[in-house]
Structure 1
Amino acid sequence: MATAIKEKPESKRIIHSVNDSIYKKEWILYTTSDEDSYSELKALRIRPSDSVLLITGSGCRSLALLADEPKRLISVDANPYQNYLLELKIEAMRLLSHEEYLQFLGVRPASFSRLDIYRQVEPDLTLQAQDYWRRYSSKIEEGLIYLGKHEQFYKRFIGSLLFRPKRKQFMHMLRLSSLEEQRAYFQEHFNTPLWRWSMETLCRQSVFKWALGDPSYDNQVSEQQSIGNYILQRLIHTFENHLVRDNHFLTFLYCGQYMNEEALPVYLQKRHYDTIKKNLDRVEIVTDLIDNYLAREKAPFIDKVSLSDISGWIPNQTFQKILYEITGKMRSNGILCYRNFLAKRVPDPVLLAQYERDTEMIERLNHEDLAFAFTFEVLKKRGE
């Protein structure tokens, strides 16, 4: 498939420069938010004059960061299918009210045909995205947020094997509004030896590799590192420090759906919806390797960068190359934020010397972030 550029109103650009035929498994890894976008908003401190660069993933962070109204938001992903998903989320948001959008995505039962909504927005998608979603149009009726490999894994394995045996206890914690009550109840009724054993067993490296095909679970993880133990300890931290009712990722992980509409991902919250919607034309979508994209640019042009957890997908040498490209294209006093999962990456010493490491913000996010599996790096580029 050839490279295509589709010009949108008000200078919006969508560039798919990677041929999607090279992707043998033609499906999406993530369709909803497995991250807490408030962490990126806290770390980046976006200003109206900022140009922001980030990894698309499920598209949830791309939309969430519009809540702070940057001048320009460039959403890059090497996986074209993730960008096709973002295209569809954007065009559906243009068309729909907040309530309708929740229904279209699957947060609420739909009072209309989701496929009919798709047909209305289809002409506004790039030809590549149109071709993709036509092949999977029947899936749209199920609700987009449930379709990714990760979301299916949560439903089939996490929910079935870990939630159902603890359904009564989890639902009780969902009703609690006191963290002290939740801690005590969790330790007495939830944090049992059987539950801990089940968690560690299900979260083995071999299970993730088989079920998800997600390189971040095995590409850069040593054989001695226990994925299950790490996730278990981070999960215990979450139960002890964050109310279940306020954690959209935890309820989706366990229940297969969002259980509290007052605590949805940022881009789905009613208070942010109109702001995000009016700024959709500031999004540019690029399908390419991020280092390739940056290498084509000649002068510094970005102020804020969010790399999600790509450090776990690639060898350290490749990750450092990306950091060098970012540093060369970032303006003075710019901010870089990324998440570490299992592979704990830090910049090379020569590169790190060009930044100030925001240790206070890092500690804050490591404690407050609702997506319990991640730790953070937040770096501010030194002024020239």
Structure 2
Amino acid sequence: MARHERTLIDNGEYRGGENKVGEAMLRHSALSAEGLSERLFRLLFSGLVYPQIWEDPEVDMEAMALAEGHRIVTIGSGGCNMLAYLSRLPGRIDVVDLNRHHIALNRLKLAAFRHLPTYEDVLRHFIGHKKRGNVEAYDRFIAPHLDQETRDHWNHRGLTARRRITVFNGNIYHKGLLGRFIGTGHAIARLHGVKLKDITAARSIAEQEHFFETRVAPLFDKPAIRWATSRKSSLFGLGIPPQQFDELASVSADGSVAPVLKNRLRRLACGFPIENNYFAWQAFARRYAAPGEGPLPAYLRPDYYDAIKKAAPRVEVHHESVTDLLSRKPEASVDRYCLLDAQDWMTPHQLNGLWREITRTAAPGARVVFRTAAEASILADRLDPGLTSRWTYRETESLAFTHNDRSAIYGGFHLYELNDA
């Protein structure tokens, strides 16, 4: 899933404007099939995409060996991972994103931890269950501490004349491009007599496997679904741009990504106990579990709350690319980097520009983590050898982290460590 997630990292050729994400990813003429596909994706990606992030922060933190005092640069997306990182009391986190909706969401989440009175108030605001009092809590405790741009974002009134902030009185995870995509998937399954939420009643992995193989897997053999998943636009709702679709479809004989999607959904459904996987709850139940019913995201766990609240002032959120942010930082000033899957979207020129800045700003022992749609790391044949030689690919550990990532939707998790000088 493009995160990101999601966030594009541009090469510095585009500056300003409202749709930084869209302009960064255009590669083909508007009159070509590829160009039309890119522009459709740009249009869809201009709003809120990810109400929650789809990378496992527990895997991130273990791979980064994240410790107190570390200086981190990360792509923002839905902000869940950034908040989880704060539980380790880093020295500083710089969050970047080119999507203004993600910027506003990250700033809102940080302000909520800093200024809502209790853990229960934070949980009520972000758990996604319908709570009518969340807007009142926002107005009283959060809004006065936001910058004007972010307040304007959440106070904006759309076609319904309701303020944007009212999404927190309902289930925000039904919103955004990803939320609507998951909702569409549920509707299609119901048309075939399958209620996906029923998997949350499973009491063992064996029961999860039985549900998936008998109820979910057969859906991918339906001609209409195979036809739909052979179209690039069918996966735009997952945040998968045309470039990533091509990577996924390359392993299928008929150009459909249905086999890849089925295998990755199988891993999400069956690879981990349902009571330990909040990603599966979001995918199959379209909500987080209630306290005591099932797992919560790391940043909403009560044992993380005090540390996140304490460290929240150490975060700065930037509406720009990673490359541009790093270009202003001193040498050897960053300890950890999290790039989500943004490199899948990049040209070789952009990729090398990014890694020149990463290498320049990397402190001794620095680590970089990222994910890819395909299984293999994309750096081996695209990065300048002079840059590649500065880093060690931790391949064995990367395979283990890929296996342990509960979101289960990526082909590979990758860890690179700066070589000793």
What TM-score comes out, normalization by structure 2 length?
0.78
- Alpha-carbon separation, structure 2, partners of 1:382 and 1:145: 41
* Deviation, structure 1 residue 311: 1.5
Residue from 28, 37, 41 that aligns with 2:61: 41
> What is aligned with 2:187?
160
Which aligned pairs between 1:264-275 and structure 2 lie closer than 5 A?
Answer: 264-275=296-307
- Alpha-carbon separation, structure 2, partners of 1:248 and 1:204: 29
> What is aligned with 1:232?
262
Comparing 314-323 and 108-117, the one that deviates more: 108-117
Give 3-state SS (helix, strand or coil) of 1:279's partner.
Answer: helix
Give 3-state SS (helix, strand or coil) of 1:35's partner.
Answer: coil
- Alpha-carbon separation, structure 1, partners of 2:146 and 2:130: 25
Distance 1:168 1:77, change over 3 A: closer
Distance 1:51 1:165, change over 3 A: same
> What is aligned with 1:219?
243
* Deviation, structure 1 residue 303: 0.5
CA contact (8 A) 1:175 1:245 kept: no
Give 3-state SS (helix, strand or coil) of 2:209's partner.
Answer: helix
* Deviation, structure 1 residue 109: 2.8
CA contact (8 A) 2:189 2:195 kept: no
1:107 aligns with 2:107: no
> What is aligned with 1:359?
395
- Alpha-carbon separation, structure 1, partners of 2:233 and 2:136: 34
Comparing 344-353 and 265-274, the one that deviates more: 344-353
CA contact (8 A) 2:107 2:150 kept: yes
Distance 1:302 1:34, change over 3 A: same
- Alpha-carbon separation, structure 2, partners of 1:206 and 1:53: 31
- Alpha-carbon separation, structure 1, partners of 2:230 and 2:135: 36
> What is aligned with 1:306?
338
Distance 1:139 1:200, change over 3 A: farther
- Alpha-carbon separation, structure 2, partners of 1:204 and 1:119: 48
Distance 1:260 1:324, change over 3 A: farther
Instruction: State the AA in 2 paired with 1:58.
Output: G
CA contact (8 A) 2:220 2:262 kept: no
After superposition, give the CA deviation of every residue in 1:291-343 in whole Å (9 maximum; x if it has no partner).
11111223220001110110223223312321221111101211100011259
1:369 aligns with 2:396: no
Give 3-state SS (helix, strand or coil) of 2:260's partner.
Answer: helix
Instruction: State the AA in 2 paired with 1:222.
Output: D
> What is aligned with 2:6?
none
Which aligned pairs between 1:1-384 and structure 2 lie closer than 5 A?
Answer: 19=16, 21-22=18-19, 27-96=47-116, 97-110=118-131, 112-118=133-139, 120-136=141-157, 138-143=163-168, 144-155=172-183, 157-162=184-189, 165=192, 167=194, 170-171=197-198, 173-187=199-213, 189-197=214-222, 200-201=226-227, 203-208=229-234, 211=237, 214=239, 216-222=240-246, 224-225=249-250, 226-259=256-289, 261=291, 262-342=294-374, 345-347=378-380, 348=383, 349-374=385-410, 375-384=412-421
Distance 1:113 1:367, change over 3 A: closer
> What is aligned with 1:7?
none
Instruction: State the AA in 1 paired with 2:394.
Output: D
After superposition, give the CA deviation of every residue in 1:117-146 in whole Å (9 maximum; x if it has no partner).
245322211221122222146232222444
Instruction: State the AA in 1 paired with 2:219.
Output: L
- Alpha-carbon separation, structure 1, partners of 2:173 and 2:139: 14
Give the 4+ runs in structure 1 shifted more than 6 A.
Answer: none
Give 3-state SS (helix, strand or coil) of 2:85's partner.
Answer: helix
Instruction: State the AA in 1 paired with 2:205.
Output: L
CA contact (8 A) 2:71 2:334 kept: yes
CA contact (8 A) 2:173 2:286 kept: no
Give 3-state SS (helix, strand or coil) of 1:219's partner.
Answer: helix
After superposition, give the CA deviation of every residue in 1:84-139 in whole Å (9 maximum; x if it has no partner).
11111111222222222222235233152425524532221122112222214623
> What is aligned with 1:3?
none
* Deviation, structure 1 residue 249: 1.6
After superposition, give the CA deviation of every residue in 1:323-366 in whole Å (9 maximum; x if it has no partner).
22111110121110001125952252432221221123211121
* Deviation, structure 1 residue 185: 4.7
- Alpha-carbon separation, structure 1, partners of 2:137 and 2:81: 26
5+ residue gaps in structure 2? 1-14, 23-42, 251-255
- Alpha-carbon separation, structure 1, partners of 2:311 and 2:114: 10
Distance 1:140 1:32, change over 3 A: same
* Deviation, structure 1 residue 260: 5.4
**RMSD, aligned α-carbons:** 2.7
* Deviation, structure 1 residue 75: 0.7
* Deviation, structure 1 residue 268: 1.4
CA contact (8 A) 1:74 1:286 kept: yes
Distance 1:320 1:141, change over 3 A: same
Distance 1:238 1:121, change over 3 A: closer
- Alpha-carbon separation, structure 1, partners of 2:237 and 2:67: 40
After superposition, give the CA deviation of every residue in 1:239-282 in whole Å (9 maximum; x if it has no partner).
33212332212221222212354412111122212211111011
Distance 1:138 1:200, change over 3 A: farther
Distance 1:115 1:150, change over 3 A: farther
Identity of aligned residues (%): 20
- Alpha-carbon separation, structure 2, partners of 1:162 and 1:27: 26
5+ residue gaps in structure 1? 1-17
CA contact (8 A) 2:97 2:319 kept: yes
What TM-score comes out, normalization by structure 1 length?
0.85
CA contact (8 A) 1:305 1:337 kept: yes
Distance 1:109 1:193, change over 3 A: closer
